[in-house]
Amino acid sequence: ELPPSEFMQVADSTWLVLSVVSNGREPPGCQATGVTKIARSVIAPLAEHHVSVLMLSTYQTDFILVRERDLPVVIHTLAGEFDIYKEESGECVPVTSDDVSNGFLKPKPSTSPMLHPVQSPQTRFCVLTVAPDTLPAIATMLIDVLFYSHSPPWDAATGSQDLDSITFFSFSLIEGYISIVMDAETQKRFPSDLLLTSSTGELWRMVRIGGQPLGFDECGIVAQIAEPLAAADISAYYISTFNFDHALVPEEGIAEVIQLLQQRQESGR
């Protein structure tokens, strides 16, 4: 429905959403467990089959987006470990690997080297939600943050932004549930009684993956980050974008995360 515009770039592929749940559907309002919980069972197998994914963690759950043309490979890859359902007319209908063509070969598992630089800004972030009926009360502030807040200064000498003060704001509205990621300073601008976070109120630090726009054609980027964090039992929220990928980890674990990812990079050289 959006009008054509020279300012809007649209990826060629159509994407489908996979939501991973355990023991049936998760109850509404349940906070996401993070990308590392599905690293070994979903993300790594898809990477081994050369399936590119986009990852979107929200306050409520985690979503994996795959290209529509890759769906047969996705179903075949995951059917051995998961019960897979597709939505038809609002109903969940079981899908089996018989519904897709045979002949997919199981690749040999291998550790994929990290090819992209990983940076960690000093900014501290919050993962929040808000009740939909209170959204109008903060709508003006949301618009101000989204469209009128200034980005950190661009360093012409290095061609990059100052990572000590990176600007990152994520807002998602999925099936009526709202999820927001913002830095701790921006949070102070909002009414504290409207923004809901986990009972611990923990802060998060970010690792940003990529030195230039990643695009959508490369596979295995999410797996390269999620697998070592899963092995260390470190939870993470993960948000893929066109330019970079972003993993949010608990603030107290950022030093260990950076060390793990540096080791992964060095092992791939």
Q: Quick: pLDDT tens for 63-77.
A: 999 999 999 999 999
**CATH architecture designation of domain 118-216+243-268:** 2-Layer Sandwich (3.30)
Average pLDDT over residues 235-242: 88
Question: How many whole angstroms separate alpha carbon 143 and alpha carbon 141?
Answer: 5
Which residue in 72, 123, 139, 80 sits closest to 102, CA to CA?
72
**Whether the predicted pLDDT of 113 surpasses 80:** no
Q: Where are the alpha helices (DSSP H) in 22-104?
A: 44-48, 71-78
Question: How many whole angstroms separate alpha carbon 47 and alpha carbon 221?
Answer: 8
Question: How many whole angstroms separate alpha carbon 85 and alpha carbon 104?
Answer: 20
Average pLDDT over residues 184-209: 86
Query: What pLDDT was estimated at residue 162?
Result: 53
Which residue in 166, 63, 182, 174 sits closest to 128, CA to CA?
182
Neighbours of 134 (CB within 10 A): 15
Which residue in 33, 62, 66 sits closest to 47, CA to CA?
66
CB 125 within 8 A of CB 183: yes
Query: What pLDDT was estimated at residue 184?
Result: 92
Which residue in 248, 260, 251 sits closest to 56, CA to CA?
248
Question: How many whole angstroms separate alpha carbon 40 and alpha carbon 62?
Answer: 15
For the ranges 20-34, 80-94, 172-186, 242-256, the lowest mean pLDDT is seen at 20-34
Average pLDDT over residues 203-222: 77
CB 16 within 8 A of CB 66: yes
pTM: 0.79
Q: Which two tokens stand for residue 229?
A: 């964090």
Please state, for a pLDDT cut of 70, what percent of the chain lies above it. Answer: 77
